[in-house]
Chain A
Amino acid sequence: MTEQPVNPLFDLTLTEEQQLMRDTVRRFAQTELRAASRKSDEARAVPDDFYGKTLELGFQAVQIPEALGGYGAARSPISNMLIAEDLAYGDMSMAIGALSTLSFINTVLDQGGAAQHQALLPAFTADGFHPAAIALMEPSTRFDPRKLKTTAEKRGGSYVLSGEKTMVPFGASASLLLVIAEVQGQGPAAFAVAGSASGISAERESFMGLRPLQLCRVKLDSVEVPAAAKLGGDKPFDLERMVDLCRIGTAALAVGTGQAVLDYVKSYCNERSAFGEAITHRQSIAFMIADIAIELDGMRLLTYRAASRAEQGLPFHREAYLARLQAADKGMKIGTDGVQLLGGHGFIREHPVELWYRNLRAVSLLEGLVSV
């Protein structure tokens, strides 16, 4: 299969807008995420005003149509991927929290009808932060987005949702959740439901990492929603597309976190002395760092390629899968090597490498949290 890309030239240059946005997001990631990362991890909460501040970056409203109060820019998977990478450089948990609402908006824009855009999106252009999330994952040892246990049953003019979701950002405190459920005989569908809807109960979950993020186990006990809440109406919901776009997002989170590890071990190991010289004068140390850099750039380029195919309207299913797979495998290796390179110090919570190690473990299992 040969398809011509929109752009006839292989190119790794960012557009001017992307570069400007990058500079802004990177500054934000440094001051608002990295600086608060350890404290938030220990407190299991982001700083009080964190989500409000993310609104200053403006990336949520930018893709919402002008008529609905947004800026009407075309959705750019590349730009969204860069934001995910740069925010995760600061802190992966806080990056997911900051991007959860955007992921909801993106999916509604992508697969919802005009009436749904009208009904669901203006809220996100109003003042204040409105938490929203995609509720896809289910608690099991081998979760597969293609085999959902959560069901949606048609009853008259409504659907009744039943099941259990896990790792849902904000849980019941989300103003809107996009619950992905199986409609018998029709395949998967997405329903926009208020977090406060009757029949929804949520419990805060605790994980190895991603601790500042309010991740919840959400129980759906016969939650009745109007038929209009079904995204796209009679059009089948393209779950594979949503999952693929989220896999690019997840891979981007791993790239940003991996870059944080690389930068940290570079300076730590250059300063750390043993046997009378910098430990980076030893090949066993220097080569581990070289390999981190090599694998990191490999997974970064895979992620960029998947995003650029998505942006150009080319098929990107294979590329998204491979980008996530490489990011999961190599990202975890980078995480564990990051701790190893600091030795005993890496194991102590004074240094951030153990935190990145815990967060990078999530890359292989996250589905549907951050969409580009």
Chain B
Amino acid sequence: MINLELGGQLLGLDQLMRSVAINVMRPLSRKYDRQEHDVPVELKVLDRRPKPGSLEAAAAQKQAGAKRDKPKKGEVRNGQAMAAIVSIENMSWGDVGLMLSIPGAGLGNAAINAAGTPEQKQRFGYLYASMAITEPASGSDSASISTTARDDGDAWVLNGEKIFVTAGDRCEAVVVWATLDKSKGKAAIKSFVIEKGTPGMQVVKLEHKLGIRASDTATILLDECRIPKGNLLGNPELAAGGNRAAFGQVMQTFDNTRPGVAAMAIGCARAALDLTIELLAKEGVQLGYDKPIWDASAIEAELYRMEADWEAARLLTLRAAWMADNGEPNSMEASMAKAKAGRVGNAITLRCVELCGSIGYSEDLLLEKFARDSKILDIFEGTQQIQQLIVARRLLGKSSAELK
């Protein structure tokens, strides 16, 4: 039965995470925007990773190892994927940069969960793992990476330079994408888990950014970095061979994480909208949702249009997560959500600054910060243009060779 409201446990989670955003994150927003690269130690209270060997760890292990059965006919699930959206949206309403700095919530963890074997999940699951894909000469075209992994008997040896590694400094492990043989293209690209402190891996630079300054963005150098054979992520037979499916497996991580980034954009944009509506209400701007749009003031009309775009983005995001929870392939819908949320999230935060004039532009409030933070959400985990490419290929039945 069609229902687009959150209910039950998700509604409870929604309220809980909003209170975390208000009480834990908002008070720290400006501080860590100014103190770029400082570790927000106050967020330790949000680290929900079970300690190795604890009862919670055993339960989590069991859950991670359990094969997720498909929903039975007529069964509807609102599960982990939707819960993640609700959490991320609310925490990003608090502060996107801080949300990205919660220990244990790294993108590398998503990759380990998606592609790791049960044994790897056990070994690496407790680590705060970041993800290293981008290189100085390789961005959206992740199949063109040059970082290499060499088979050296009992070990892999990695060499190369990775940039834009979110949480690359403060994490405990890095999931690194590298090629076994660049001439073999996608089929030779594998991901490897490298624990911090491994000789040969070094953080050489932290970026100074437009926004999400609370989150560190690192350059990582790999110089003859030796790691055990078992650190190659995924089924070793499938992963080590020249199998293109292995690349697909790695890329599938993004089907799960893209709605998450869309949720960040929605949370950040909602924060800007809420504050703008609050400021304008003091000046008598009221939204009754009943004036014909051409009889509303320019500012009201703009707010209505932003609300409509925001709602559409949020519902597209919830749909993508709902499909994941119910075992439906959602690659196209995940990209639709990220495309819409990324662009309207950015447009909304920028417009809110504009509508509030010098008050909006001022560092006294957070509107200008939301407008800086939102830009990256239309870029990382696949830019707007990459999402459109994915949607278009699926929609039109085109291969990457046909629709470049």
Using a CB–CB distance below 8 Å, which chain A residues touch chain B?
A: 2, 4-15, 18, 78, 142-144, 146, 240, 266, 269-270, 277-278, 280-281, 283, 286-287, 289-291, 293-295, 297-299, 301-302, 304-305, 307-309, 311-312, 314, 317-319, 321-323, 325-326, 328-329, 364
Contacts and interface: CB of A to CB of B under 8 A. Distances in A.
B25 to A, nearest CB: 21
8 contacts: A5-B5, A11-B322, A269-B396, A280-B403, A295-B312, A301-B319, A302-B308, A326-B312
Given A10-B78, A301-B316, A15 B1 contact: yes
Contacts of A308: 2-5
A325 B2 CA distance: 21
B308 A325 contact: yes
A188 to B, nearest CB: 13
Contacts of A78: 2
Contacts, number: 170
B285 interface: no
Given A283-B392, A283-B403, 14 more contacts: A10-B7, A11-B2, A13-B1, A142-B292, A277-B402, A280-B396, A297-B336, A298-B315, A298-B316, A301-B316, A302-B312, A308-B3, A326-B308, A326-B311
Contacts of B398: 280-281, 286
Contacts of B307: 318, 322
A278 B404 CA distance: 12
Contact of A266 (B6, B82, B385, B396): B396
B76 interface: yes
Q: Which of B305, B312, B392, B402 has the most CB of A within 10 A?
A: B312
B295 A142 contact: yes
Interface residues of B, number: 52
Contacts of B318: 10
A314 B396 contact: no
Nearest to B336: A294
B4 A289 contact: no
A311 B395 CA distance: 32
A13 B72 CA distance: 13
Given A11-B76, A266-B396, A291 B292 contact: no
A12 B77 CA distance: 11
Interface string B63-80: 000000000000011100
B291 A322 contact: no
Interface string B379-402: 000000100110111011110001
B36 interface: no
A37 to B, nearest CB: 24
B10 to A, nearest CB: 7
A322 B311 contact: yes
Contacts of B2: 11-14, 18, 78, 304, 307-308, 311
A240 B289 CA distance: 11
B145 interface: no
Interface of B: 1-8, 10-11, 15, 76-78, 82, 289-295, 304-305, 307-309, 311-313, 315-316, 318-319, 322, 333, 336, 339-340, 385, 388-389, 391-393, 395-398, 402-404
Nearest to A141: B294
Contact of A325 (B7, B305, B339, B385): B305
Nearest to A144: B292
Contacts of B292: 142-144
B289 A321 contact: yes
B88 to A, nearest CB: 16
B308 A13 contact: no
B11 A286 contact: no
B336 A293 contact: yes
A230 B282 CA distance: 41
Contact of B388 (A142, A146, A287): A287
A302 B311 contact: yes
A278 B315 CA distance: 33
Contacts of A14: 2
A318 B307 CA distance: 10
Nearest to A314: B5
Contacts of B404: 281, 283
Contacts of A286: 388-389, 392-393, 396, 398, 403
A145 to B, nearest CB: 8
A318 B303 CA distance: 13
Nearest to B3: A7
A29 B248 CA distance: 40
Contacts of B8: 8-9
Contact of A289 (B76, B290, B395): B395
A293 B6 contact: no
Contacts of B388: 283, 286-287, 290-291
A36 B11 CA distance: 47
A261 to B, nearest CB: 13
A301 B4 contact: yes
Contact of A2 (B11, B340, B389, B393): B11
B315 A302 contact: yes
A47 B41 CA distance: 73
A291 to B, nearest CB: 7
Nearest to A311: B2
A314 B11 CA distance: 16
Contacts of A287: 385, 388-389, 392
B295 A144 contact: yes
A142 B294 contact: yes
Contacts of A307: 2
Contact of B340 (A8, A294, A319, A321): A294
A109 B333 CA distance: 39
A12 B11 contact: no
Closest 4 CB pairs of A and B: A298-B312, A8-B7, A301-B315, A286-B392
A328 to B, nearest CB: 8
Q: Which of A2, A295, A322 has the most CB of B within 10 A?
A: A322
B127 to A, nearest CB: 32
A328 B305 CA distance: 11
Contact of B396 (A6, A146, A270, A325): A270
B7 A5 contact: yes
A4 B305 contact: no
Contacts of A11: 1-3, 76, 322
A10 B13 CA distance: 14
A325 B304 contact: yes
A305 B397 contact: no
A290 B333 CA distance: 11
A121 to B, nearest CB: 27
B389 A283 contact: yes
B312 A299 contact: yes
Contacts of A143: 292
Contact of A5 (B3, B294, B308): B3
Contacts of A291: 388
Contacts of B3: 5-7, 9-11, 308, 312
